[in-house]
Amino acid sequence: MSTSGNGKARANAVITVHKYEPAAYESPAEGPVLNRIHVEESFSGDIDGDGVTEFLQAAHADGTASFVGIERVTGTVAGRAGTFLLQDAGIVTGSVVEGDWFVVPGSGTGALAGLRGEGGFRANLGENAQVYLDYWFEAVTP
């Protein structure tokens, strides 16, 4: 974890996927297939814990894809425990999946109440993802 001059800190972590369950919900004769993908994974590093995600994906016949998702992370960020939501958007090109995410405002609980941030991820398909989150905490009003 490092801190920048603007009050943000960077958390780095590695994601290991434990469950990846895609299911098509529309397979037209032409055009991309629409998939719903359930993912369960774990984070290790400055972010430590477990995540559960639902993705919606548009998959093209050439193997490229575009996806969005929301993930609940349960664990710690820099030693502060709680939960928070990440909203993801990304692409698959060749054997690489990459994207950006941000902490859904107001989603932090416990010692992670007030958590805000943005970051991203990148991985070769089938391998662990290198991820980062530039984060800060906003004051929480009761």
Task: Report, as ranges of residue numbers, the positions in the chain whose pLDDT lies below 70.
Answer: 1-6, 142
Q: What is the pLDDT of residues 113-142, one digit of tens each?
A: 999 999 999 999 888 999 999 999 998 776
Alpha carbon distance 84, 75 (integer Å): 9
- Which phi and psi angles does 34 have, rounded to 5°? -100, 125
* pLDDT score at 4: 45
Superfamily in which the 10-137 domain is placed by CATH: SO1590-like (2.40.350.10)
Alpha carbon distance 123, 69 (integer Å): 16
User: DSSP 3-state assignment of 105?
Assistant: coil
Question: What sign does the dihedral 124-126-127-130 (CA atoms) show?
Answer: positive
The domains of the chain are located at: 10-137
Alpha carbon distance 132, 126 (integer Å): 19
Beta bridge partners of 92: 65, 97
* pLDDT score at 3: 47
* pLDDT score at 130: 94
